[in-house]
Structure 1
């Protein structure tokens, strides 16, 4: 096991590598009881390194060394030191060839890092530091080399042999074995290495690039999944065309491959030319995937493809720069998804994730900047801060520069750094050089952790016709960082008149033809803006489009929020006003008597949404979703999850009771005989239908129960069938719930991805997912502790979605999670460290909860031989 006291790695200690690798020649001999890896490296001293280079140091993990040869001659044991995690070779010349042979056991690799087996196939996951689990190598992203890979295996068991690049040779071997050799012409870091060997079906397609080149597209799946490939293949082609049109990036190899793997710690991996996907993130059919799944697959396929340039051709110098590739690529895939669907809905979804989960991360013990200053285990920094906040940082640059200059900056970035491993500073510098803008202060977004808080005050001088807006910013203290500097924040703003009309935002000395929306640039701790020529006090529409990842404090009245819900032309702020109003109503009931009045105007606001067919129905579907319990907890200073659950439930029941006829009419409007389509309009219809059905079953409506049964039985797509199932599971109709769950499992028991949905629907429900029921799911024959998706669908759904049950005041949910984390820590530390996250916010909760959460964390802390992954998260969470 890894040490219980991991070493902290600091950005300030970065040094260039002492040795560079020009070429890697790999030969894999794959067997049922293990794999022998022959690794020949062409190495030279790095002329940029200072001082005496000393011995060659190569990284390793869980390897059995068989031999070491230098320039073709076997080395005696006195010439090298094998410490397990390091192989040191002494007295090496300035340029040489080193051959290392290692033996590994992929079939016993439960960590799913390096080379392992999934459903009988060999596959790899090398980001961040998995390549060292395959062979000894300088396993860091700034060592880039050209790879040639020969894979040998039994032909009957493993007819498909894949690796990065283009196939250059293949043939037969003795004893029924065969080989394929792959060559990647582009230098890459070891984390982008990939290998797959298995009995897979190949689905083929073609793509013609903008320059007329023909690209061979291939998907490899298990035979049972061959009917689930079409959507991902089409999404890939849409992504390729979009990247050419919007960023001018053309694909560079002759072949692009995707492989679906059931056992995978992440969602997908952008290995050069050979993307490996978690099956749940790439396989889809109308009968087995929901609308949300289709959209997620499209986004993930695009994300991994876009990495070909923003991550592969230009990669990160070190892991502190992880957001260089991930933040930029998440921004690119968000742009793509917005173009493919509803931009407003996409923005709402992104902001919801940020405000619920990333803001919580920013305010928790694991808070870190977009470019961290230190880490113990790099796998713990594949976080929402790196990905989602990192994408928001890029989005703000886009907002500040505008589309034309941003494109000019991205072109310069790719041209300047093609084939290099670079830093976030290099990215920002390219944007500065292309635009002429000084982004010095903006770099603080990469350096300072925490979510900036903007406090907004306003004043209207009727005599002068002047509206004053005072904005103060502060960045809260986070672990290791205090006394933060003001950041450069783009703040989009509009003003509305009493009839809902947009008002001009005319600064002093400007002409009356002022714009109706501005992006104010905040750079100081306090700004005061004056808008002239206003004949009435406006209603402010603040932070339009969520123009920066910040919290906004402004004393909105319920009248103002109701007004914005009805009139704001900015779709995001219209939704946001509804969320703020619902939050205010729910919070007003915390600690109130059971018969306390609930804001009646909330009913009328939702009725107006349900009855107005002229509204964007995709936006309406989002506006009808009440703020989640997780978001309400995040807004609390000393959260009482049980009280929050009761208050939210009361508001939901109140709305459903008073809107019963409107909900039923809405449901019936969305039903029809049209064929299943994945258009924004059709997706909105199905979302509205499921929301209405869920609200009606929440109040025990008998006619709605019959509708749910009929929808479940007659559905021609998974969205409608799962929508009905979820409504039944979250209702008090116990017999109908039991029958539907049994029917669903019987229908889909042979499909692992759908079984995962079946698990998560139950574990995430406070009706069906109390702790005894969740423990039964863990004992179900379909559950598999070795499969991360199954673990996430039960343990993750219970702790992350079913907050009422997880936060049971008796502490049983916390004890349960600690037990599962300790169990997983021995087999898959990456998954264990991610699952422990709900316990790390213990300081956020009321004392009766926080004490028990801390006790559960201490139990994990005291586990013998705790992994490096979990050690870092738990010890940081308990500190102070």
Structure 2
């Protein structure tokens, strides 16, 4: 064994390479203790069949771990240990790796990996937290089925939870099996003393799903709204997108110390308490709507993020931008679409536009990072959602549904890219999004100017649009007469630095309304005077 020190290095999107080895199954055993936790992993590896000459070398990520034992097919191998992980060489085409290691959740103040919150065990693995639990291929493009065994002091931790369906349970132990392959960032473990609110939901195919919300006992009276919001999310995703839940149980856990707001771990969502707990005595209408939206967002990840996940973390907006769009539509369908759109645009213009104009400006799909957690930003989430909305505007609701259906048909159970999603939307609708894709690679908010001319003799109204970059975007518009009656409306396709749009048969000089519904995340100036505006 040799131990070396390493230093964080930039990760570049251009350097992506598929893993030489993939994982067929992962079996984890946890012995939870107040002073230490023992983790035993048994992982079945196989060479990536998509690679012609795969390497026989394998690096497993591991941070702040105490290695106890390691076996490959029952034999202790040679290995190199560093602060960032474990290097194995001369590996077979198929092998089983067994590792025993020790961790200290009670001393883990990073709130990544496995840690303790208010006396309970809780985990957070996105983006790189799983490597603080055991040595593993901590990357989103390696998917595995998981079996999780948990042992703990029943007096202190009577509730033992993990992903998937409950296989067996005794006082002080539980086994969970998740049959849906997932990357390790979606792994979750929770152990503690909680109160639970139980309910159920019957899916459109007739399957009964148990719904459970776990909270500290004094908060159980603040969970009913969250449960009803969860059921509304189940129902909406079935009705709007035809997407049905795929496990027998769906669980939410609310903890006070959680640094991500909420996390979509497969079948076991973990929330900051502020995103779940509410009652009519202390919460405002805005609190209730936000809780409903966050619960919906995490549930909608079951398909847009979990069933189809990201190839690498540069593709974060693939799951987050799409799922933010979906939770915005969820709120819009259940409440006032107009009010929701105004709220979203106000947030975008106030906060994301400022981010795009400042020193932290970055593309929705960045090209490099040192610390991935720095890219959970308004640009990736909110601007990413606006890009999805522009796609929806171009192809319409029917076209978007057609594209989403093809997306899941092609990529269910895979880790893919933003380009895969955009191309699929184009293929499904015979629409060329090639030029549009620049939205993902360019930072900053586009500035667009529109000048107009009206010829009363020919009844022709001309709008000239100019922009510094050739951004491809939809410009929703309406032409109004002096009384505010609509003369013409629609969506213009903008694709060049300078374009003229000609409207014929306009018998009186119209007052144009540009960017209706905020159809693109741009800054627009025009030649309307104060009275016209």
Q: 1:54 to 1:279 in 2, by over 3 A?
A: same
Shift of 1:193: 0.1
Shift of 1:283: 0.8
Mapped to 2, the partners of 1:252 and 1:203 lie a distance apart of 21
- What's the counterpart of residue 311 of structure 2? 317
Structure 2: where are the runs of 5+ without partners? none
- What's the counterpart of residue 144 of structure 1? 143
Structure 1: where are the runs of 5+ without partners? 173-177, 476-485, 504-515, 562-880
- What's the counterpart of residue 441 of structure 2? 447
Residue 233 of structure 1 aligns to a residue whose secondary structure is helix
- What's the counterpart of residue 390 of structure 2? 396
Shift of 1:129: 0.4
Mapped to 1, the partners of 2:170 and 2:147 lie a distance apart of 16
Mapped to 1, the partners of 2:283 and 2:135 lie a distance apart of 41
- What's the counterpart of residue 48 of structure 2? 46
- What's the counterpart of residue 70 of structure 1? 72
Q: 1:38 to 1:425 in 2, by over 3 A?
A: same
User: Contact 2:210 / 2:249 at 8 angstroms: preserved in 1?
Assistant: yes
Shift of 1:50: 5.0
Which of 270, 277, 280 is matched with 1:283 structurally? 277
- Any residues of structure 2 matched to 1:463-862 within 5 Å, and which? 463-475=457-469, 486-503=470-487, 516-561=488-533
Q: Which has the higher helix share?
A: 1
Q: Which has the higher strand share?
A: 2
Shift of 1:467: 1.4
- What's the counterpart of residue 274 of structure 1? 268
Mapped to 1, the partners of 2:201 and 2:151 lie a distance apart of 30
Shift of 1:72: 2.1
Residue 347 of structure 1 aligns to a residue whose secondary structure is helix
Note if 1:305 corresponds to 2:277. no
Shift of 1:253: 0.2
Mapped to 2, the partners of 1:370 and 1:205 lie a distance apart of 38
Q: For 1:615-657, what per-residue CA distance to the aligned partner results, in whole angstroms no more than 9, with x for missing partners?
A: xxxxxxxxxxxxxxxxxxxxxxxxxxxxxxxxxxxxxxxxxxx
Shift of 1:70: 1.1
User: Contact 2:452 / 2:527 at 8 angstroms: preserved in 1?
Assistant: no
- What's the counterpart of residue 237 of structure 2? 243
Q: Which 4+ runs in 1 deviate beyond 6 A?
A: none
Residue 344 of structure 2 aligns to a residue whose secondary structure is helix
- What's the counterpart of residue 247 of structure 2? 253
Give RMSD over aligned pairs.
1.3
User: Contact 2:308 / 2:414 at 8 angstroms: preserved in 1?
Assistant: yes
Shift of 1:52: 5.1
Residue 560 of structure 1 aligns to a residue whose secondary structure is coil
User: Contact 2:6 / 2:84 at 8 angstroms: preserved in 1?
Assistant: no
Mapped to 2, the partners of 1:530 and 1:246 lie a distance apart of 37
- What's the counterpart of residue 100 of structure 1? 99
Shift of 1:69: 1.0
- What's the counterpart of residue 795 of structure 1? none
Mapped to 2, the partners of 1:132 and 1:202 lie a distance apart of 30
Mapped to 2, the partners of 1:554 and 1:9 lie a distance apart of 42
Q: 1:265 to 1:96 in 2, by over 3 A?
A: same
Q: For 1:120-143, what per-residue CA distance to the aligned partner results, in whole angstroms no more than 9, with x for missing partners?
A: 100000000000010010100001
- Any residues of structure 2 matched to 1:402-413 within 5 Å, and which? 402-413=396-407
TM norm structure 1: 0.59
Mapped to 2, the partners of 1:446 and 1:96 lie a distance apart of 39
- What's the counterpart of residue 853 of structure 1? none
Mapped to 2, the partners of 1:50 and 1:294 lie a distance apart of 53
Mapped to 1, the partners of 2:240 and 2:86 lie a distance apart of 46
- What's the counterpart of residue 156 of structure 2? 157
Deviates more, 1:51-60 or 1:219-228: 51-60
Mapped to 2, the partners of 1:49 and 1:84 lie a distance apart of 29
Q: 1:494 to 1:305 in 2, by over 3 A?
A: same
Mapped to 2, the partners of 1:463 and 1:428 lie a distance apart of 44
Note if 1:10 corresponds to 2:46. no
User: Contact 2:197 / 2:212 at 8 angstroms: preserved in 1?
Assistant: yes
Note if 1:347 corresponds to 2:346. no
Mapped to 2, the partners of 1:341 and 1:280 lie a distance apart of 21
Residue 253 of structure 2 aligns to a residue whose secondary structure is strand
Shift of 1:74: 3.5
Shift of 1:4: 11
Q: For 1:525-571, what per-residue CA distance to the aligned partner results, in whole angstroms no more than 9, with x for missing partners?
A: 1111121222322211110000011110113332222xxxxxxxxxx
Residue 258 of structure 2 aligns to a residue whose secondary structure is coil
Residue 185 of structure 1 aligns to a residue whose secondary structure is strand
Mapped to 1, the partners of 2:361 and 2:51 lie a distance apart of 33
Which of 217, 226, 231 is matched with 2:220 structurally? 226
Mapped to 2, the partners of 1:171 and 1:500 lie a distance apart of 70
TM norm structure 2: 0.97
Pick the structure with greater CA Rg: 1
Note if 1:460 corresponds to 2:460. no
Note if 1:84 corresponds to 2:86. no
- What's the counterpart of residue 57 of structure 1? 59
Shift of 1:45: 1.5
Shift of 1:417: 0.6
